Amino acid sequence: MKLLVFGTTGQVAREIAARAGDVVIVAHGRDTADFTTPDACAALVAATDADAVINAVAYTAVDRAEEEEPLATVINGTTPGAIARACAERGLPMVHISTDYVFDGAGTAPFTPDHPTAPLGAYGRSKLVGEQAVRAAGGAHAVFRTSWVVSAHGNNFVKTMLRLGADRDRLTIVADQVGGPTCAADIAATCIEAARQLIDDPGKSGTYHLSGGPDVSWADFAREIFALSGLNVEVVDIPSSEFPTLAQRPLNSRMDNATTQTVFGLARPDWRSGLTDILKDLGALKK
């Protein structure tokens, strides 16, 4: 199998490259795939000899998106749509990554893939545009909504906690936002396997959820990071109202992963196992 992958430096893109195995990866980064120019990205699909396409590119600056929504919408919405249409024209399956931010975060029940969307801010709106465009293109596709992505690469909550925990013995962490931390390695493995299955069975097309389990608050996630890394840091629970941000975050990011297991045979990943691997990679696991 040969995959055309959009993205080279992001958390998921790096894990796709690391976990390719016998899969041939042709990856395009910003130098060859400018996501502010949709037609140029679509042209790469038109010219490829790959068997499927994975889009691992996204505008993920949630707060900055409130001030740059047109740009976020092009990167997260317009360009994925152009890629999806080019995939449909070529008969190539497309795997696309979306987010829990397409929901409003109301209640405490896990969101199912068919739950009505109602994004709270610009980032969620831009990602919803992308989802809708991929589906509307009419080709074989899998949209995976994920949440709280972490890895040993880039900027994420695990690395932030390790940095802050090295200098402080007490941190206040939001405790009323609950969701599933998701390791980029698990997302990468899912994208590769979903692409493989879609090649054989385009009927598996649809929108799915992929989040790590069990669900946890940011505060309790931090406690686990500190416990596994051996950092002696007191975590004090605070509500979101005491940690204001430009963009509103959903309080409930729980997502129902059942259809991902039913259709693709992929069980919900355990973030605790993935966190151990991340800390090992960073040399931060308690000995």
User: Distance (Å, rounded) from C-alpha 158 to C-alpha 166?
Assistant: 12
Write out pLDDT tens, residues 144-202. 999 999 999 999 999 999 999 999 999 999 999 999 999 999 999 999 999 999 999 99
Q: What is the pLDDT of residue 287?
A: 79
DSSP output for 169-230: SEEEEE-S-EE--EEHHHHHHHHHHHHHHHHH-GGG-EEEE---BS-EEHHHHHHHHHHHHT
Write out pLDDT tens, residues 254-278. 999 999 999 999 999 999 999 999 9
Q: What does the domain layout of the chain look like in residue ranges?
A: 2-156+181-212+254-269
Q: Which residues of the chain have pLDDT under 50?
A: none
Q: What is the pLDDT of residue 178?
A: 98
Closest by Cα among 85, 58, 52, 207 to 142: 207
Q: What is the pLDDT of residue 157?
A: 97
Query: Which residues are known to be catalytic?
Result: 123
Q: What is the pLDDT of residue 172?
A: 97
Q: What is the pLDDT of residue 176?
A: 97
Core vs surface per residue 87-107: b (16+ CB within 10 A) or e? bbeeebbbbbbbbbbbbbbee
Q: List, in sequence order, the alpha helices (H) in 19-68.
A: 38-47
Partners of residue 209 on adjacent β-strands: 145
Q: What is the pLDDT of residue 230?
A: 96
Q: What's this model's pTM, rounded to 2 decimal places?
A: 0.97
CATH of domain 2-156+181-212+254-269: 3.40.50.720
* Cβ partners under 8 Å of residue 21, min gap 6: none
